[in-house]
Structure 1
Amino acid sequence: MGFIPDEVVIQILARLPVKPLFRTKTVCKLWYGLPSDEYFIKLYNEESAKNPMVLIELINSTESKSSFVFVDNSRGVSEFSLDFLLEKVKIRASCNGLLCCSSIAVKGVYYVCNPMTREFKVLPRCRARPLTLFYPDGEATIVGLASDLSRNKFNVVLAGFQLTSSHRQDGTFACLVFDSDSNKWRKFVTFQEHNFTHMNRNQVVFVNGSLHWLTGSCSYILMLDLNYDVWRKISLPDEVRYGTGNRVYLLECDGCLSLIQISDTWMKIWVMKDYERELWHMVDKVSLGCIKGLVHGIFPITQTGEHVFLASHKQVLMYHRTSRVWKEMFAVKNSDTLPLWFSAHAFRSTIVPCN
């Protein structure tokens, strides 16, 4: 075989899944050092951003058992496990290859882990007053994870209404932020009222150094600036805000804030092109005639400029925006499993430390 330049080899290896990549470390000294090389990590994470995945926790309602799968456009469906955490956990948030999980047995115990490298960190217990209990989880109203790949750091956010000693809300919306650099929690409060449904609080988007949630009324986006610990409201497009009969979902698209608006017949994709002036542009309008019977049960999970992944009660669908073709990527066989949109998260395979 002829000589292959190192740069070509690096480009090839940057397109491998994490597990096969780590197995190649035994080949030679160059390959051994790649997963810890700053240039290679940046290249690998940039490539992974082009290949979104859907992470699903399959919850068997009759047997009270859970299993986990990735649904990937290029590699199909693969199983994975969180058994390295040594206890049962619930996935609360996903961001740039990291997961924030909460202990099922002990309330207030949180983990941040990379399921690909099986690294994890147990977060120190926070001594602040508990936040509002939210059925059925009995935990903070909203949980957010911000994984900053450029700085190799992460933040975990717990937010909700504070409880008094008599377990009543005192009207104070409190926010607890864990910073991986300092390994400490910080707290700040506000007196604004916010409304979140179960699914709205699960769809949290990290862009521009801030976390974003769509409020339950779909009247605005609530943004948390992690650099200054400031909450801010972001307006929705007029068509979305004043429209009727639509469902709205908050996603990320190639580093930008995005909304997906679904009616009985159309799926419209909006992207915020100017973050400071809050200028939205509709970048695609998709007919839903091909999946007419599934429209009322689909829930967008993740997207890029090319693909949109959506979960229904029993399926994961992918829409290719260039070819305008729908494809079933995964289907549940067990009728006892809870709806997939109930426990589906956006994911991407990255090399990012969490401890």
Structure 2
Amino acid sequence: MDQGRRPNAVVANDNSKIYMDLKSIIREHTLPFLPAKSLFRFKGVCRDWKLQISTPFFAHNQSNSFHNVSGFFCQSCSNPPSFISLDPNSYGVPDPSLQFLPEPVDIRSSSNGLLCCQGHTGDNAYYICNPATKQWKKLPKPNADHGSNPAIVLIFEPSLLNFVAEYKLICAFSSADFDNALEFEIYSSAENCWRISGEIYFGATKIKPNSGVHVNGIIYWLSKTGGIVVFDLTMERSQRLYGHKNGFYSHNQGCLGVMNEKLASVISSYNQTLTVSVLSNSYTNTMAMNSKVKAWDTKLNVNVSESSEYQGPVLYACGEVIVIQSERGLYSYDMKTREFRRLTTEADHDIRVVGYVNSLVEI
């Protein structure tokens, strides 16, 4: 009888080991790849998970592991911020209108879980916040006048080597000393101060606010007169780059985005096509005249002529997701599944859309 029981005891011990190993695998190697909303809910699973998810090291690890676009913050001049989740069960924030900040704000930029917002009162201060955790920081006042609707870009790239989140802000503003010129001011969280770059762009152009994107150390803004203003953050040099269809930006149908770590230009032409092109050669400005080297490669053409439901200006493009504003509301287009999806049934004509990653990054 005793001999008959021993194998069962061994099997039970093996199953126990497998169960313990699986718990450790999920806790150590799966949880960091989940979005913030899901993780807050999973704190109720057990005491071990709650302690694990609540540690600063876990937040640091999750911010380095989770980078999926989780939804969009939307805002117009007449309404406070709101949030559209791509998956309400998994992605979300506790206070979509950002009322945890000390004053009403406009969302200016977003990067890997952090938002850059600007206050409505006083000196229109900038705030950096994480809407998932409600952490925020007020930044010192800039040296220059950035205007009422600044062309500012937030850059936050999580790194395993930097336990403290380090980020930068870059703002292109009209020069007060030179006519038809742009200057650039840079904020560094590591130094907690602003400084004006020595670079001045004499391109006689105005920047389109809320159009800036960052790709591999280079910031790109749409120009209101056509083309793209480029600022190399490492070299602190600027230039002008022309799109593959010069002048389309003036019709407010296109936007800049980032796809596969390349600058993307996305155009929605009424009654025609949704076109996605990526920058393949940024040095065509220096090529000889009549050179056949192309600056842009077309990656996608989607025929939308059969349905007015998907026709309108492109408001956002990043990764595999594109957001279009039509007369019937906001729609997203998934480049992977080639499917359209309705996000809202109504949208203000001046609505702005900012992509958001549901991260636990600590400020």
TM-score (norm 1): 0.78
Q: Indicate yes or no: 2:35 matched with 1:17.
A: yes
- 1:207–1:255 Cα contact (<8 Å) kept: yes
Q: Contact (CA 8 Å) 1:102, 1:109: kept in 2 or not?
A: yes
Give 3-state SS (helix, strand or coil) of 2:170's partner: strand
Q: Considering only CA atoms, is the larger Rg found in Structure 1 or Structure 2?
A: 2
Question: Secondary structure, in 3 states, of the residue corresponding to 2:225?
Answer: coil
Partner of 2:324: 310
Alignment of 1:1-355 (within 5 A): 2-3=19-20, 4-22=22-40, 24-25=42-43, 27-29=46-48, 32-34=51-53, 41=60, 45-49=64-68, 51-57=69-75, 61=78, 65-73=79-87, 75=89, 80-126=96-142, 128-131=143-146, 133=147, 138-140=148-150, 142-150=151-159, 152-163=165-176, 170-188=179-197, 189-196=199-206, 200-219=208-227, 221-237=228-244, 240-241=245-246, 247-264=253-270, 265-273=272-280, 279-292=295-308, 295=311, 297-305=312-320, 307-312=321-326, 315-332=329-346, 338-339=348-349, 342-354=351-363
| CA–CA distance in structure 1, aligned partners of residues 180 and 336 of structure 2 | 48
Does the 8 Å contact 1:68/1:80 carry over to 2? yes
Q: For the structure 1 residues 191 and 308, does the alpha-carbon distance in structure 2 shift closer, same or farther, using more than 3 Å as the test?
A: closer
Per-residue CA distance 1:107-151 (angstroms, 9 max, x = gap): 34111111111111110123x3434x4xxxx254x2221112235
Distance 1:44 1:108 in 2: 29
Query: Post-superposition shift, 1:352?
Result: 2.5
Describe the shift of the 1:84–1:35 C-alpha distance in structure 2 as closer, same or farther (beyond 3 A). Answer: same
User: Which amino acid in 2 is paired with 1:130?
Assistant: D
Which structure 1 residue ranges, 5 or more long, are not aligned? none
Conserved? CA contact 1:35–1:41, under 8 Å? no
CA contact (8 A) 2:213 2:256 kept: yes
- Structure-2 separation of matches of 1:32 and 1:254: 36
CA distance in structure 2 between the partners assigned to 1:302 and 1:222 by the alignment: 18
Q: How far apart are residue 39 of structure 1 and its match? A: 8.0
How far apart, CA to CA, are the structure 2 residues paired with 1:11 and 1:311?
39
Deviation at 1:5, TM superposition (A): 4.5
Give the direction of change, closer, same or farther, for the CA distance of 1:215–1:103 in structure 2 (3 Å limit): same
Residue 86 of structure 1: CA displacement? 1.8
Task: After superposition, give the CA deviation of every residue in 1:186-227 in whole Å (9 maximum; x if it has no partner).
Answer: 112414135346xx32121111022211211332x2222222
Contact kept, 8 Å, 2:181 with 2:201, in 1: the verdict is yes
* CA distance in 1: counterparts of 2:317 and 2:183, whole angstroms: 29
Change (3 A) 1:244 1:31: closer
Q: Distance in 2 between matches of 1:95 and 1:290?
A: 35
**Shift of the alpha carbon at 1:290?**
4.5
Q: C-alpha distance in 1, partners of 2:295/2:54?
A: 39
Which structure's residues are more often strand, by fraction? Answer: 1
Partner amino acid, structure 2, of 1:346: G
User: Contact 1:157 / 1:175 at 8 angstroms: preserved in 2?
Assistant: yes
In the aligned structure 2, how far is the partner of 1:77 from the partner of 1:353?
18
Taking the aligned partners of 2:232 and 2:54, their CA distance within structure 1 comes to 31
**Counterparts of 2:133 and 2:249 in 1: how far apart (Å)?**
45
Q: Aligned pair in 2 of structure 1 residues 272, 40: CA closer, same or farther (>3 Å)?
A: farther
- Report the AA paired with residue 323 of structure 2: F
Aligned partners of 2:204 and 2:226: how far apart in 1? 11
Whether the 8 Å contact between 2:35 and 2:90 is mirrored in structure 1 is no
Pairwise CA RMSD = 3.3
Q: In the superposition, relative to structure 1, how do residues 162 and 279 fare at CA in structure 2: closer, same or farther (>3 Å)? A: closer
Which secondary structure state, in structure 2, belongs to the residue aligned with residue 241 of structure 1? Answer: coil
AA matched with 1:19: K
Secondary structure of 1:267's partner?
Answer: strand
* CA separation of 1:214 and 1:171: change in aligned 2, threshold 3 A: closer
Identity %: 19
Normalised TM-score (structure 2):
0.76
Unaligned segments of structure 2, at least 5 residues: 1-15, 285-293
Q: Compared with structure 1, are the counterparts of its residues 75 and 117 closer, same or farther at alpha carbon in structure 2 (3 Å cutoff)?
A: same
Number of aligned pairs? 326
* Superposed displacement of residue 259, structure 1: 0.7
Deviation at 1:331, TM superposition (A): 2.0
Is contact 2:309-2:328 (8 Å) kept?
Answer: no
